[in-house]
Every structure is written in C-alpha cells, then in structure tokens.
Amino acid sequence: MPTVSTQNSEQTLIAALKRGEERAYTEVLNLHKQQIAKTVIGMLGIVPEAEDVGQEVFIRFFKSIENFKGEAKISTYLTRIAINLSLNELERRKRKWRVFYSGDFAEEKIQKAFFTPDADLDENVDLLRRATLKLDEKYRQVVVLRATQGYSFKEIAEIIQLPIGTVLTRYSRAQKKLIEMLNK
Amino acid sequence: MKTEEQYHIDWLASKDGLLTSSDLEALMIFIKEHATIYEQWLEQEFIVSGLKSTQWGFSENFNLKVLKSVRENQIPIFDKSSLFVVSIGIAASLVLMLNLFVEQNTWGFEALLGIADMDSNNTNLLFYINS
C-alpha cells in the first residue's frame, strides 16, 4: 500500500509527465529501469531483445500517460506492461522457432538458444536462473515477481490480474519444479 | 483434510499475513507434526530466494534511446498551423476549379484542364493560353 507521501510524489510526477516535462520522463526512467530490467531479463533471459522490450515498456507508458488515472502505483503499472510485453516476446520467439522445429524438440532448442550464462552471478544462482527459464511462463512470472523482485502476493495478483489463490498455488508449484530441476 | 501442497500454500500466504487465525492455527499444528516437511519448505524458500541477488540492468544509453523515441512520437505530422495552411490551400483550389467550370460552362474533365472550349480548328494549347 503506498503511503500518503509516496502517493503525493507520484501524483506530482504524473502531473509533470502529463505536461510533457522531460525531467519527469528521466525521473521515471531512473526510478524504475532497474526493476523493469530484472523483470524483463528474468522472463526472457540475457538476450538483446530484453533491452528492446524494456524500451517499449517505457515508451508505451509515456504514450498512454494521458489515460493513466493513478489507481495503481507507477511501478505496478510498468511491471504489468513488462510482463505482458515479455509474454508477447516469448510467444513471438516460439512462433519463429516452430517454423524450423516442432513439438518438444522446438522447446528444447529455444531453451538451449537462450541459455546465456551470467558470468557475474554465483554459480548456484546462475543455475537457478537458468532453471527459471525452463519453467512454463505462468510459473516463471510469479517466480520473477516474488523471488527476484520481492513483490507481495497481493501485488503480484494485481500485476498479473489473477486471484491471489492462483498466484499462491503457482508459486508453490513453481518452487517445487525448480528444486526438482536443480536436483536432476 | 488439507494436502501437503495446501499447507505449503498456507505457509506462503502466512508470510504476507494473508491467513485467517483458524488456518494459521491448523498450519502450526501441521508444522509441529511434520518437522521434516517444514525444513524442506524452508530450504526450497532459501534456494529460490537466491534470485534476489541478481543485478541485471540495461545499457548505459537506455534513457537516451527511450527519450529519443518519445520525442519522435511527440512531433505531430499536422499541427494546428500547418492544418490551417492546408485548409486554405484546399479552399483556394476549390474556388479555382469552380471558376474554371463556370467560365467554360461545363463540368467535364476537359474543363478542369481549361481546354473544354478548344476550337477544333486550332488544337495548339499555347494559342488558348496566350489569348
């Protein structure tokens, strides 16, 4: 729940965005780009398209600012766009690979092609990250939002627009699947 | 009777304070009776929480790329002043066309070109332009 002061500062920022002040655009970018990077890279892996999707998240937000009523926090709204655009990108990626490969073989190829190791990460965390990329998208998004971003289950339900019970079930199952993959 | 998965879900919910007191009480009893399962939950939570340490970011010129794209989108093709000029131009063309039609007393395409009243004995366009 946003506090009164954060609500006020967000409203001031939104008003400045609606007036087209470039300072406000830069502020939103500086405040939220790290969080959006974690969401998009968590969903897509370390791939060049992640940066394009990240840019598109902010461009869409700025374009639709006139319709933004401030019912949700800016971070929630941006993360929702990031998740939706990442899911679109994953679908586009699948369609592209299915031209050449079919069925499970296609899935395997996609996963291998996008498993770029992250040299900056601890080996165990990198294994975990790569296992996350093997999860079905519906599980992956809750893991990214909860474990990577630290959102509460209530916030996740708001972002992905699903009942809180579904979010909890998906997170519980995703945890089990991840552990199974790591133990293999 | 709840399954182990349901208790695990309850345990996750309890972390965010989403559980009713009766469900919380039932969870506590389950945990007390199934210490090994509880240890597994703690271990898997600890392992998965490792993802928090990821520090991904975008390239250094990320802001510039976004701002450039936003600026390009903000430049309207037709702003109010250019729309005014275009409207005046269209209105003037219509008046000129009307003038041509009225002067030549016909609505045909030839009237639009100004050659509807061309004399069949003299088809040289320059003759008409000069006259």
CA distances from B47 to A126, A175, B38 (A): 12, 9, 14
- Domain covering A1-116 in this structure, CATH number: 1.10.1740.10
Structure tokens at B52: 């928090």
Percentage of chain B surpassing pLDDT 90? 47
B8 and A55 within 8 Å at the Cβ level: the answer is: no
Higher pLDDT, B128 or B5: B5
Percentage of chain A surpassing pLDDT 90? 55
Between positions 48 and 77 of A, the ones with CB within 8 A of B are 50-51, 54-55, 58-59, 62-63
A125 and B51 within 8 Å at the Cβ level: the answer is: yes
CATH architecture of A118-184: Orthogonal Bundle (1.10)
Distance, in Å, from the CA atom of A75 to the CA atom of B53, rounded to the nearest integer, reads 20
A26 and B74 within 8 Å at the Cβ level: the answer is: no
pLDDT digits (tens, 9 = 90+) for A1-44: 444 455 668 889 999 988 888 899 999 999 999 999 999 999 99
Q: What is the ipTM of this complex?
A: 0.81
Res A114: pLDDT: 57
Res B111: pLDDT: 76
Domain boundaries, chain A: 1-116, 118-184
Q: Give the pLDDT mean for A82-86.
A: 96
The alpha-carbon radius of gyration of chain B (Å, integer) is 41
pLDDT digits (tens, 9 = 90+) for B1-51: 889 999 999 999 999 999 999 999 999 999 999 999 999 999 999 999 988
Q: Which DSSP string corresponds to A52-98?
A: HHHHHHHHHHHHTGGG--SSS-HHHHHHHHHHHHHHHHHHHHHHHHH
Structure tokens at A111: 């996963």
pLDDT digits (tens, 9 = 90+) for B81-96: 778 888 899 999 999 8
pLDDT reading at B73 higher than 90: no
Whether A139 has its CB under 8 Å from any CB of chain B: the answer is no
Residues 6+ apart with CB under 8 A from B50: A122, A124, A125, A128
Ordered alpha helix ranges (H), B49-79: 62-74
Query: Is-contact A79 A36, C-beta < 8 A?
Result: yes
